[in-house]
Structure 1
């Protein structure tokens, strides 16, 4: 029998409300501590201090490296643009550069395949052990006339210094990545002569997220600013305003014209990627020593340089010559130079020479702009040149906004004239990304089709028992 407790009417019932002490205890519970902002942490200011050091280091590294390749490349000074304006002894110089590249690679034990510039930026790490070999081989490559730029060697030196310093000081992985990006910014601050371009370029390619964004942004601004200040104080030279184009008035139809210009840039980038993959595959299939591959590559771009001298070297100075002689070189020379530059760039990379892709792609874009103006004179030279100067590298390196800024600074076009440049770059960038998406989707579909069908799963126990 269950006993029941009698309830007396009018008797007080037990209160369900918490007591004052319980309320006091609940309200007095400590709230979770709020983390201080990133800029109020000690490690943030440690990174800023490192950025100052990396900025100074990058400025002097750029001064020395650019000085070495500029002095070493003076043998090219007597070049004449046009068909067969070079000298046949250039082939011997390029072949000798190939021999030197192979020997320096062997002495420094530099692997045949090393991470590219974009891979270093995306991983936010540079192996310091590879830096001496990369810098030495790149210097020989650029002095020998290879169609490559100096940004790979400078980025490796700056980024390698940042990675080495991070390991030396025992930084966390996240802060070490920030330190590496600051090293890149320090190396490029003097080369590109613009903190805005440098920071935008690195941030677009690396894309650091979370708290690293604030740290990386601040560290890169400091490093590139210090680098530019030191570089300019000593060299007094800037990269901006190098390509002066004729002034032209902005019209509404320029915005529409920028779309086909961007599509043309995407076609050029697709062709360039095809050249690069083809050259890499062909040189990889050659069963000869690495030195022989470098010599063969030197002979190829040396012979092409004799026939079309404007294809030699990074293309920075050669594009000035082409822009100054627009209308006098002839349509055939322009087309041949444009295609030949893609070939020599691909051969230089595939045969073991070391260098960056930004300066050659600027040349390809600028040359393509001159070509468009020659074919369609109604399109102003400044419009075609500035749009393609930005669109080709913008689509190749996946840094559209940085390339818009670079084209605007290099050509000194007006504020309104940058609107078509942005449309052309975005058109080329989105076109290339859509092509990549289609190729990846097709590859996945083929893999799914080739995969054997999975055998049917056995029935569960519940079903078996029925």
Structure 2
């Protein structure tokens, strides 16, 4: 979470229970509301995706995922999103290349409709981005505006912290990821009172968001890969090796990010940059195939259903193409997040390791690959470890992932992040 929002949230009376009780109802409302917004955006995007990629090509007699249709749809998505960014109030929010998971300054609520329309178009149209960043920004803007209007006694930063935690909880269907992210944000800050006093409200919001999503949408991140048994001696080498290789692959995109972003910035106008980005994504999809489209969560489940169904070369091609697609989509102005595409890239790389060395268990390869890629792209250690672990729940595997995270973290820490400042330079 952003330092200023966390510090304001920490300013809430910490020790007495009566200082924490006023947070309960606001946190519950924000949690449920954030979840419903996420479910609504995702559900609308799925319906639109079916129209664009199933009903429309069938009506026209065109192959659903033919090269021609992928080029047409991704370019058209660039045109539509470019139109929204050009004409919508607030231009559908700031440049997404400058955004992380934390919200520093809440947007005006007038910007939210354009941002959500752009996000739905991206999710349905095929660019390799997920819903997390636009939905976090939208939820923070709405929570801040409504909270200051109806409960002016709470600091504005509290509403932002509640919205961020609620959205993370809703995304993963559990509040644990939000709690881990909060603990990272509070490290090194001068907070008052015990840790649990400082995360009390956000944790309630995350739990409410997670439970609402679970009851309404029934999400399931478990990939149902072959059961992983007891760790072996070889696994102690395989897990760090796969995680480190995945982190190195991710860092190639991180280092290229400012340069690719600069190319699209030079196109100056969103009605030029976004269609151009869409065309490039269409060409990449022609190389990588249909599984390299969209945010990647359904597609990684397709890989997991048949971990031996592709060759090592095919898995490697999908990983590299998806990484390039993520890099282009995040650089040219499409509104979306980078977590779920990173999960696909890491999973494909892990299955590539299994195809090359069958002794590498598919579950070990997938989770280690996802861990390394997320460490490079997000630079959030706990969230990366948690995301990899929930894909294949296994105590023995979780212990191996903790070991694998150490060399991978050494490769990424202190280096540029996949997030840019306003001047186009990389955040460190």
Output the TM-score relative to the length of structure 2: 0.83
Structure 1 match to 2:301: 320
Structure 2 match to 1:63: 39
**In structure 1, distance between residues paired with 2:136 and 2:370:** 22
Structure 2 match to 1:92: 72
Structure 1 match to 2:21: 45
**Offset of residue 316 of structure 1:** 0.6
Structure 2 residues without counterparts, runs of 5 or longer: 1-10, 58-63, 418-428
Structure 1 match to 2:136: 155
**In structure 2, distance between residues paired with 1:221 and 1:230:** 14
1:11-410 map, 5 Å: 38-40=14-16, 43-74=19-50, 75-76=52-53, 86-111=66-91, 114=94, 116=96, 119=99, 121-122=101-102, 124-129=104-109, 130-168=111-149, 169-171=151-153, 175-205=155-185, 209-211=190-192, 213-235=195-217, 237-286=218-267, 289-307=269-287, 308-410=289-391
**In structure 1, distance between residues paired with 2:116 and 2:102:** 20
SS in 2 for 1:89: helix
**Offset of residue 319 of structure 1:** 1.0
Are the aligned partners of 2:74 and 2:281 in contact in 1 as well (CA < 8 Å)?
Answer: yes
**In structure 2, distance between residues paired with 1:36 and 1:224:** 18
SS in 1 for 2:395: coil
**Offset of residue 144 of structure 1:** 0.9
Change (3 A) 1:320 1:71: same
Change (3 A) 1:426 1:243: farther
**In structure 1, distance between residues paired with 2:148 and 2:103:** 16
Bigger-Rg structure (1/2) = 1
Are the aligned partners of 2:103 and 2:160 in contact in 1 as well (CA < 8 Å)?
Answer: no
Are the aligned partners of 1:187 and 1:227 in contact in 2 as well (CA < 8 Å)?
Answer: yes
SS in 2 for 1:231: helix
Change (3 A) 1:282 1:370: same
**Offset of residue 178 of structure 1:** 2.9
User: Cα deviation per residue 1:8-63 (whole Å; 9 max; x = unaligned)?
Assistant: xxxxxxxxxxxxxxxxxxxxxxxxxxx99714265533333211110121121122
SS in 1 for 2:127: coil
**Offset of residue 283 of structure 1:** 0.8
**In structure 2, distance between residues paired with 1:166 and 1:41:** 21
C-alpha root-mean-square deviation of aligned residues, in Å?
A: 2.9
**In structure 2, distance between residues paired with 1:125 and 1:177:** 9
SS in 1 for 2:349: helix
**In structure 2, distance between residues paired with 1:395 and 1:209:** 28
**Offset of residue 151 of structure 1:** 0.6
**In structure 1, distance between residues paired with 2:259 and 2:306:** 32
Structure 1 residues without counterparts, runs of 5 or longer: 1-34, 438-466
**Offset of residue 132 of structure 1:** 2.7
Are the aligned partners of 2:165 and 2:178 in contact in 1 as well (CA < 8 Å)?
Answer: yes
Change (3 A) 1:114 1:426: farther
